[in-house]
Chains A and B, each alone.
Chain A
Amino acid sequence: MNNTATRKKDKMQAVPRAAEIVREYGPFGGAANVHGVTHDGQRVWAATGAKLVGFDPASGEATRTLDCVCDAGTAFDGTYLYQIAEARIDKIDPASGKVLASIPTPGQGSDSGLTWAEGSLWLGQYRDRKIHQIDPVSGAVLRTIESNRFVTGVTWVDGELWHGTWEGDESELRRIDPADGAVLERLEMPRGAGVSGLESDGADLFYCGGGGSGKVRAVRRPRAGKS
Protein backbone atom coordinates (compact mmCIF):
# COMPACT_ATOMS: atom_id res chain seq x y z
CA MET A 1 0.00 0.00 0.00
CA ASN A 2 1.34 3.39 -0.91
CA ASN A 3 -0.67 5.62 1.29
CA THR A 4 1.38 8.78 1.69
CA ALA A 5 -0.73 9.80 4.66
CA THR A 6 0.45 6.80 6.63
CA ARG A 7 2.58 7.78 9.56
CA LYS A 8 6.19 6.74 9.45
CA LYS A 9 5.86 4.30 12.34
CA ASP A 10 2.98 2.52 10.69
CA LYS A 11 4.68 2.48 7.30
CA MET A 12 7.70 0.91 8.89
CA GLN A 13 5.53 -1.56 10.81
CA ALA A 14 7.01 -4.95 10.06
CA VAL A 15 4.94 -7.99 9.09
CA PRO A 16 4.65 -10.27 12.13
CA ARG A 17 6.12 -13.75 12.09
CA ALA A 18 5.50 -16.55 14.56
CA ALA A 19 8.10 -16.79 17.30
CA GLU A 20 9.89 -20.13 17.32
CA ILE A 21 9.94 -21.41 20.89
CA VAL A 22 12.93 -23.70 21.29
CA ARG A 23 12.55 -24.75 24.89
CA GLU A 24 10.63 -24.04 28.09
CA TYR A 25 12.10 -23.96 31.60
CA GLY A 26 10.40 -23.98 35.01
CA PRO A 27 8.32 -23.21 36.95
CA PHE A 28 11.03 -22.88 39.55
CA GLY A 29 10.54 -24.16 43.08
CA GLY A 30 6.85 -23.37 43.29
CA ALA A 31 7.22 -19.74 42.19
CA ALA A 32 4.03 -18.63 40.45
CA ASN A 33 5.58 -15.84 38.40
CA VAL A 34 8.62 -14.86 36.39
CA HIS A 35 8.95 -11.08 36.34
CA GLY A 36 12.34 -10.67 34.71
CA VAL A 37 15.25 -12.59 33.13
CA THR A 38 18.91 -12.04 32.47
CA HIS A 39 21.90 -14.08 31.33
CA ASP A 40 25.36 -13.95 32.90
CA GLY A 41 27.17 -16.03 30.29
CA GLN A 42 26.61 -19.28 32.16
CA ARG A 43 23.34 -19.05 33.98
CA VAL A 44 19.94 -17.63 33.14
CA TRP A 45 18.50 -15.69 36.07
CA ALA A 46 14.75 -15.54 36.62
CA ALA A 47 13.14 -13.02 39.01
CA THR A 48 10.33 -14.87 40.80
CA GLY A 49 9.20 -12.28 43.36
CA ALA A 50 11.17 -13.10 46.48
CA LYS A 51 13.90 -15.23 44.91
CA LEU A 52 16.30 -14.80 42.01
CA VAL A 53 16.75 -18.25 40.53
CA GLY A 54 19.84 -18.96 38.42
CA PHE A 55 19.54 -22.01 36.19
CA ASP A 56 21.75 -23.79 33.71
CA PRO A 57 20.17 -23.36 30.26
CA ALA A 58 21.60 -26.67 29.08
CA SER A 59 20.12 -28.85 31.84
CA GLY A 60 17.37 -26.56 33.06
CA GLU A 61 18.51 -27.25 36.65
CA ALA A 62 18.47 -24.39 39.14
CA THR A 63 22.09 -24.06 40.28
CA ARG A 64 21.90 -20.94 42.45
CA THR A 65 19.19 -19.07 44.31
CA LEU A 66 19.46 -15.60 45.85
CA ASP A 67 16.95 -14.34 48.40
CA CYS A 68 16.12 -10.85 47.21
CA VAL A 69 13.10 -8.84 46.25
CA CYS A 70 12.64 -9.11 42.50
CA ASP A 71 9.42 -7.68 41.11
CA ALA A 72 10.34 -6.89 37.52
CA GLY A 73 13.31 -6.70 35.12
CA THR A 74 16.74 -8.11 35.76
CA ALA A 75 20.09 -7.18 34.13
CA PHE A 76 23.76 -8.21 34.31
CA ASP A 77 26.68 -5.88 33.59
CA GLY A 78 29.43 -8.52 33.50
CA THR A 79 29.98 -8.38 37.26
CA TYR A 80 26.81 -7.40 39.08
CA LEU A 81 23.13 -8.11 38.79
CA TYR A 82 20.66 -5.24 38.63
CA GLN A 83 17.15 -5.95 39.81
CA ILE A 84 13.98 -3.87 39.88
CA ALA A 85 12.38 -4.18 43.34
CA GLU A 86 9.27 -2.13 44.07
CA ALA A 87 10.30 1.40 43.00
CA ARG A 88 14.08 1.02 43.01
CA ILE A 89 16.87 -0.77 41.18
CA ASP A 90 19.11 -2.85 43.42
CA LYS A 91 22.70 -3.59 42.42
CA ILE A 92 23.35 -7.11 43.66
CA ASP A 93 26.57 -9.08 44.11
CA PRO A 94 25.77 -12.45 42.48
CA ALA A 95 28.27 -14.22 44.73
CA SER A 96 26.80 -13.13 48.06
CA GLY A 97 23.33 -11.94 47.05
CA LYS A 98 24.05 -8.70 48.91
CA VAL A 99 22.50 -5.44 47.74
CA LEU A 100 25.43 -3.08 47.16
CA ALA A 101 23.55 0.04 46.04
CA SER A 102 20.09 1.21 45.05
CA ILE A 103 18.79 3.92 42.73
CA PRO A 104 15.18 5.01 42.28
CA THR A 105 13.42 3.92 39.09
CA PRO A 106 12.31 6.69 36.73
CA GLY A 107 8.78 5.25 36.56
CA GLN A 108 8.38 5.19 40.36
CA GLY A 109 7.44 1.52 40.24
CA SER A 110 5.66 1.37 36.90
CA ASP A 111 8.79 -0.21 35.43
CA SER A 112 9.05 -3.65 33.93
CA GLY A 113 12.07 -4.55 31.79
CA LEU A 114 15.76 -3.97 32.43
CA THR A 115 18.96 -4.62 30.51
CA TRP A 116 22.59 -3.50 30.45
CA ALA A 117 24.32 -2.15 27.37
CA GLU A 118 27.17 0.24 26.63
CA GLY A 119 27.60 1.38 30.20
CA SER A 120 23.93 2.23 30.67
CA LEU A 121 20.86 0.56 32.05
CA TRP A 122 17.90 0.40 29.69
CA LEU A 123 14.56 0.19 31.35
CA GLY A 124 11.05 -0.46 30.02
CA GLN A 125 8.18 1.51 31.48
CA TYR A 126 5.31 -0.88 31.03
CA ARG A 127 2.01 0.92 30.41
CA ASP A 128 3.70 4.18 29.47
CA ARG A 129 5.14 2.38 26.41
CA LYS A 130 8.58 3.89 26.98
CA ILE A 131 12.17 2.73 27.12
CA HIS A 132 14.59 4.87 29.14
CA GLN A 133 18.37 4.83 28.99
CA ILE A 134 19.52 5.60 32.51
CA ASP A 135 22.74 6.27 34.33
CA PRO A 136 23.46 3.19 36.48
CA VAL A 137 24.98 5.27 39.26
CA SER A 138 22.57 8.17 39.64
CA GLY A 139 19.47 6.76 37.95
CA ALA A 140 19.22 9.90 35.79
CA VAL A 141 17.32 9.45 32.52
CA LEU A 142 19.70 10.03 29.60
CA ARG A 143 17.31 9.33 26.75
CA THR A 144 13.77 8.06 26.16
CA ILE A 145 12.50 5.97 23.26
CA GLU A 146 8.76 5.75 22.68
CA SER A 147 7.15 2.50 21.61
CA ASN A 148 3.53 2.07 20.58
CA ARG A 149 2.99 -1.00 22.73
CA PHE A 150 3.32 -1.83 26.40
CA VAL A 151 6.98 -2.55 27.12
CA THR A 152 7.67 -5.58 29.32
CA GLY A 153 11.29 -6.45 28.65
CA VAL A 154 14.26 -4.93 26.83
CA THR A 155 17.53 -6.30 25.52
CA TRP A 156 20.35 -5.27 23.19
CA VAL A 157 22.09 -7.77 20.94
CA ASP A 158 24.51 -7.07 18.09
CA GLY A 159 23.46 -3.42 18.06
CA GLU A 160 19.78 -4.36 17.81
CA LEU A 161 17.30 -3.09 20.39
CA TRP A 162 14.55 -5.62 21.13
CA HIS A 163 11.66 -5.31 23.52
CA GLY A 164 8.92 -7.60 24.69
CA THR A 165 5.32 -6.45 24.64
CA TRP A 166 2.30 -7.86 26.35
CA GLU A 167 -1.17 -6.39 26.02
CA GLY A 168 -3.93 -8.64 27.22
CA ASP A 169 -3.51 -11.95 25.46
CA GLU A 170 -1.16 -10.67 22.77
CA SER A 171 2.58 -10.81 23.16
CA GLU A 172 5.43 -10.13 20.74
CA LEU A 173 9.14 -9.65 20.62
CA ARG A 174 9.87 -6.49 18.64
CA ARG A 175 13.04 -5.03 17.19
CA ILE A 176 12.76 -1.28 17.12
CA ASP A 177 14.80 1.54 15.72
CA PRO A 178 16.52 3.10 18.77
CA ALA A 179 16.41 6.49 17.04
CA ASP A 180 12.67 6.85 16.50
CA GLY A 181 11.02 3.75 17.94
CA ALA A 182 9.90 2.49 14.50
CA VAL A 183 9.10 -1.23 14.55
CA LEU A 184 11.53 -3.14 12.34
CA GLU A 185 10.78 -6.75 13.15
CA ARG A 186 8.00 -8.60 14.99
CA LEU A 187 7.93 -12.10 16.45
CA GLU A 188 4.48 -13.13 17.59
CA MET A 189 4.24 -15.32 20.68
CA PRO A 190 1.50 -17.97 20.78
CA ARG A 191 -1.81 -16.84 22.33
CA GLY A 192 -1.60 -16.80 26.10
CA ALA A 193 2.21 -16.98 26.22
CA GLY A 194 2.99 -13.57 27.70
CA VAL A 195 6.43 -11.97 27.72
CA SER A 196 7.52 -10.49 31.06
CA GLY A 197 11.21 -9.91 30.71
CA LEU A 198 13.57 -10.44 27.80
CA GLU A 199 17.27 -11.19 27.48
CA SER A 200 19.46 -12.31 24.64
CA ASP A 201 22.19 -14.88 25.24
CA GLY A 202 24.40 -12.89 22.88
CA ALA A 203 23.97 -15.50 20.19
CA ASP A 204 20.93 -17.24 18.70
CA LEU A 205 18.48 -17.23 21.58
CA PHE A 206 16.21 -14.94 23.50
CA TYR A 207 15.07 -15.88 27.00
CA CYS A 208 11.56 -14.64 27.78
CA GLY A 209 9.92 -14.52 31.21
CA GLY A 210 6.50 -16.14 31.03
CA GLY A 211 4.66 -14.05 33.65
CA GLY A 212 2.02 -16.01 35.57
CA SER A 213 2.99 -19.28 33.87
CA GLY A 214 6.14 -19.26 36.01
CA LYS A 215 8.13 -20.36 32.97
CA VAL A 216 11.08 -19.06 31.01
CA ARG A 217 10.89 -19.65 27.26
CA ALA A 218 13.82 -19.75 24.86
CA VAL A 219 12.94 -18.21 21.48
CA ARG A 220 15.18 -18.41 18.39
CA ARG A 221 16.55 -15.07 17.24
CA PRO A 222 16.14 -14.46 13.51
CA ARG A 223 19.40 -13.49 11.80
CA ALA A 224 19.66 -11.00 8.97
CA GLY A 225 19.73 -12.84 5.64
CA LYS A 226 17.94 -15.92 6.91
CA SER A 227 14.56 -16.37 8.50
Chain B
Amino acid sequence: MNTQPLKKNISSYIIQTHEEEIKRIAMELHEGVGQSLYSLFTGMQLIEKAIEQPAMKSYAGDMNQLLEKTIQEIRLLALELHPPSLTTLGLVSAMKSYINLYTSTYGIEVGVENLGVESQISDRDSITLFRVCQEALVNIARYADTTKASIIFKWKKSRLLIMIKDSGKGFEVETAMNKLSGLAAMSERMHLIGGKCIIYSKIDEGTSIEISLPLY
Protein backbone atom coordinates (compact mmCIF):
# COMPACT_ATOMS: atom_id res chain seq x y z
CA MET B 1 0.00 0.00 0.00
CA ASN B 2 1.36 3.41 -0.93
CA THR B 3 1.07 5.90 1.95
CA GLN B 4 3.14 8.69 0.34
CA PRO B 5 1.03 11.56 -0.96
CA LEU B 6 1.50 12.34 -4.66
CA LYS B 7 3.73 15.33 -5.46
CA LYS B 8 0.95 16.71 -7.67
CA ASN B 9 -1.51 16.57 -4.78
CA ILE B 10 0.88 18.40 -2.47
CA SER B 11 1.54 21.20 -4.99
CA SER B 12 -2.15 21.50 -5.70
CA TYR B 13 -2.95 21.69 -1.96
CA ILE B 14 -0.25 24.32 -1.32
CA ILE B 15 -1.38 26.52 -4.23
CA GLN B 16 -5.05 26.19 -3.28
CA THR B 17 -4.38 27.00 0.38
CA HIS B 18 -2.26 29.96 -0.67
CA GLU B 19 -5.04 31.28 -2.90
CA GLU B 20 -7.65 30.81 -0.17
CA GLU B 21 -5.46 32.73 2.27
CA ILE B 22 -4.97 35.58 -0.23
CA LYS B 23 -8.73 35.70 -0.79
CA ARG B 24 -9.36 35.77 2.97
CA ILE B 25 -6.92 38.65 3.50
CA ALA B 26 -8.43 40.57 0.56
CA MET B 27 -11.95 40.10 1.97
CA GLU B 28 -10.82 41.05 5.46
CA LEU B 29 -9.19 44.23 4.15
CA HIS B 30 -12.18 45.19 2.02
CA GLU B 31 -15.05 44.19 4.28
CA GLY B 32 -13.37 44.59 7.68
CA VAL B 33 -10.67 47.26 7.79
CA GLY B 34 -12.07 49.15 4.80
CA GLN B 35 -15.60 49.33 6.25
CA SER B 36 -14.36 50.43 9.69
CA LEU B 37 -12.29 53.18 8.08
CA TYR B 38 -15.34 54.27 6.09
CA SER B 39 -17.38 54.54 9.29
CA LEU B 40 -14.59 56.65 10.82
CA PHE B 41 -14.54 58.79 7.67
CA THR B 42 -18.27 59.58 7.81
CA GLY B 43 -17.98 60.29 11.54
CA MET B 44 -15.05 62.64 10.94
CA GLN B 45 -17.05 64.48 8.26
CA LEU B 46 -19.81 65.14 10.81
CA ILE B 47 -17.27 66.35 13.37
CA GLU B 48 -15.62 68.60 10.77
CA LYS B 49 -18.99 70.22 9.98
CA ALA B 50 -19.71 70.83 13.67
CA ILE B 51 -16.32 72.44 14.42
CA GLU B 52 -16.38 76.22 14.44
CA GLN B 53 -12.74 77.10 15.11
CA PRO B 54 -11.11 77.58 11.65
CA ALA B 55 -7.76 76.04 12.62
CA MET B 56 -9.38 72.91 14.07
CA LYS B 57 -11.77 72.69 11.11
CA SER B 58 -8.83 72.71 8.73
CA TYR B 59 -7.05 70.07 10.83
CA ALA B 60 -10.15 67.86 10.73
CA GLY B 61 -10.32 68.42 6.96
CA ASP B 62 -6.71 67.20 6.56
CA MET B 63 -7.50 64.13 8.66
CA ASN B 64 -10.52 63.43 6.46
CA GLN B 65 -8.35 63.60 3.35
CA LEU B 66 -5.85 61.20 4.89
CA LEU B 67 -8.65 58.80 5.80
CA GLU B 68 -10.04 58.99 2.26
CA LYS B 69 -6.59 58.22 0.82
CA THR B 70 -6.17 55.28 3.20
CA ILE B 71 -9.58 53.85 2.26
CA GLN B 72 -8.63 54.06 -1.42
CA GLU B 73 -5.30 52.34 -0.67
CA ILE B 74 -7.04 49.50 1.18
CA ARG B 75 -9.55 49.04 -1.66
CA LEU B 76 -6.81 48.91 -4.30
CA LEU B 77 -4.71 46.54 -2.21
CA ALA B 78 -7.68 44.17 -1.79
CA LEU B 79 -8.39 44.39 -5.53
CA GLU B 80 -4.77 43.62 -6.37
CA LEU B 81 -4.71 40.63 -4.07
CA HIS B 82 -7.89 39.00 -5.29
CA PRO B 83 -10.20 40.45 -7.95
CA PRO B 84 -13.79 40.17 -6.63
CA SER B 85 -15.17 40.36 -10.19
CA LEU B 86 -13.65 36.93 -10.92
CA THR B 87 -16.42 35.21 -8.96
CA THR B 88 -19.23 37.61 -9.84
CA LEU B 89 -18.57 38.59 -13.47
CA GLY B 90 -16.23 35.89 -14.76
CA LEU B 91 -12.71 35.52 -16.08
CA VAL B 92 -12.89 37.87 -19.10
CA SER B 93 -14.34 40.77 -17.08
CA ALA B 94 -11.77 40.29 -14.32
CA MET B 95 -8.95 40.21 -16.89
CA LYS B 96 -10.27 43.36 -18.61
CA SER B 97 -10.34 45.14 -15.28
CA TYR B 98 -6.81 43.92 -14.48
CA ILE B 99 -5.59 45.04 -17.92
CA ASN B 100 -6.85 48.60 -17.28
CA LEU B 101 -4.79 48.70 -14.10
CA TYR B 102 -1.84 47.06 -15.91
CA THR B 103 -1.81 49.67 -18.73
CA SER B 104 -1.98 52.56 -16.30
CA THR B 105 0.85 51.04 -14.25
CA TYR B 106 3.30 49.89 -16.91
CA GLY B 107 2.20 51.94 -19.93
CA ILE B 108 1.78 48.82 -22.10
CA GLU B 109 -1.39 48.71 -24.19
CA VAL B 110 -3.08 45.32 -24.30
CA GLY B 111 -5.64 44.43 -26.97
CA VAL B 112 -8.33 42.04 -25.71
CA GLU B 113 -10.42 39.78 -27.96
CA ASN B 114 -13.12 37.46 -26.69
CA LEU B 115 -14.29 34.88 -29.22
CA GLY B 116 -17.18 32.51 -28.54
CA VAL B 117 -19.50 32.25 -25.58
CA GLU B 118 -17.93 32.37 -22.13
CA SER B 119 -18.68 29.20 -20.17
CA GLN B 120 -18.95 28.97 -16.44
CA ILE B 121 -15.82 27.54 -14.87
CA SER B 122 -15.04 26.63 -11.28
CA ASP B 123 -13.55 29.19 -8.87
CA ARG B 124 -10.35 27.14 -8.66
CA ASP B 125 -9.94 27.04 -12.46
CA SER B 126 -10.79 30.76 -12.80
CA ILE B 127 -8.22 31.89 -10.27
CA THR B 128 -5.55 29.62 -11.81
CA LEU B 129 -6.21 30.99 -15.31
CA PHE B 130 -6.22 34.54 -13.94
CA ARG B 131 -2.89 34.04 -12.13
CA VAL B 132 -1.25 32.46 -15.20
CA CYS B 133 -2.39 35.34 -17.46
CA GLN B 134 -1.28 37.84 -14.80
CA GLU B 135 2.19 36.22 -14.66
CA ALA B 136 2.46 36.31 -18.47
CA LEU B 137 1.57 40.02 -18.56
CA VAL B 138 3.88 40.89 -15.67
CA ASN B 139 6.74 39.11 -17.51
CA ILE B 140 6.00 41.26 -20.57
CA ALA B 141 6.27 44.41 -18.41
CA ARG B 142 9.49 43.24 -16.84
CA TYR B 143 11.41 41.65 -19.69
CA ALA B 144 9.83 42.09 -23.14
CA ASP B 145 10.64 45.77 -23.72
CA THR B 146 7.53 46.40 -25.80
CA THR B 147 4.70 48.93 -25.84
CA LYS B 148 1.92 46.59 -27.02
CA ALA B 149 0.62 43.12 -26.27
CA SER B 150 -2.55 41.16 -26.97
CA ILE B 151 -4.71 38.56 -25.28
CA ILE B 152 -7.28 36.41 -27.07
CA PHE B 153 -9.86 34.20 -25.36
CA LYS B 154 -11.31 31.44 -27.58
CA TRP B 155 -14.25 29.65 -25.98
CA LYS B 156 -15.08 26.35 -27.64
CA LYS B 157 -17.52 23.66 -26.52
CA SER B 158 -14.87 21.41 -25.07
CA ARG B 159 -11.95 23.75 -24.57
CA LEU B 160 -10.87 27.24 -23.59
CA LEU B 161 -7.81 28.59 -25.36
CA ILE B 162 -6.05 31.77 -24.24
CA MET B 163 -3.25 33.32 -26.30
CA ILE B 164 -1.02 36.06 -24.94
CA LYS B 165 1.33 37.62 -27.48
CA ASP B 166 3.91 40.35 -27.60
CA SER B 167 6.42 41.44 -30.19
CA GLY B 168 9.13 42.21 -27.66
CA LYS B 169 12.71 41.05 -27.45
CA GLY B 170 11.97 37.38 -26.81
CA PHE B 171 14.14 34.82 -25.02
CA GLU B 172 15.42 31.25 -25.19
CA VAL B 173 12.60 29.22 -23.69
CA GLU B 174 14.66 26.29 -22.40
CA THR B 175 17.26 28.46 -20.66
CA ALA B 176 14.56 30.73 -19.20
CA MET B 177 12.47 27.78 -17.96
CA ASN B 178 15.43 26.65 -15.87
CA LYS B 179 16.20 30.18 -14.65
CA LEU B 180 12.85 31.88 -14.18
CA SER B 181 10.66 30.12 -11.66
CA GLY B 182 7.65 32.18 -12.82
CA LEU B 183 7.53 30.46 -16.23
CA ALA B 184 7.81 26.99 -14.72
CA ALA B 185 5.13 27.91 -12.16
CA MET B 186 2.74 28.88 -14.98
CA SER B 187 3.07 25.41 -16.56
CA GLU B 188 2.82 23.73 -13.15
CA ARG B 189 -0.33 25.65 -12.19
CA MET B 190 -2.01 24.73 -15.51
CA HIS B 191 -0.93 21.10 -15.16
CA LEU B 192 -2.57 20.93 -11.71
CA ILE B 193 -5.99 21.86 -13.12
CA GLY B 194 -5.64 19.52 -16.09
CA GLY B 195 -4.66 22.21 -18.56
CA LYS B 196 -1.59 23.10 -20.57
CA CYS B 197 0.67 26.09 -20.97
CA ILE B 198 2.95 26.24 -23.99
CA ILE B 199 5.52 29.00 -24.39
CA TYR B 200 6.97 29.97 -27.77
CA SER B 201 9.62 32.64 -28.01
CA LYS B 202 12.34 33.74 -30.40
CA ILE B 203 14.96 36.38 -29.73
CA ASP B 204 13.96 39.72 -31.33
CA GLU B 205 10.66 38.24 -32.54
CA GLY B 206 8.55 38.23 -29.40
CA THR B 207 6.75 35.69 -27.29
CA SER B 208 3.51 33.81 -27.55
CA ILE B 209 1.94 31.89 -24.68
CA GLU B 210 -0.87 29.43 -25.26
CA ILE B 211 -2.96 28.31 -22.34
CA SER B 212 -5.60 25.66 -22.79
CA LEU B 213 -8.10 24.11 -20.43
CA PRO B 214 -10.56 21.34 -21.19
CA LEU B 215 -14.19 22.35 -20.49
CA TYR B 216 -16.72 19.73 -19.41
- Answer whether A and B are interacting partners: no
Binding site for B on A (CB under 8 A): none
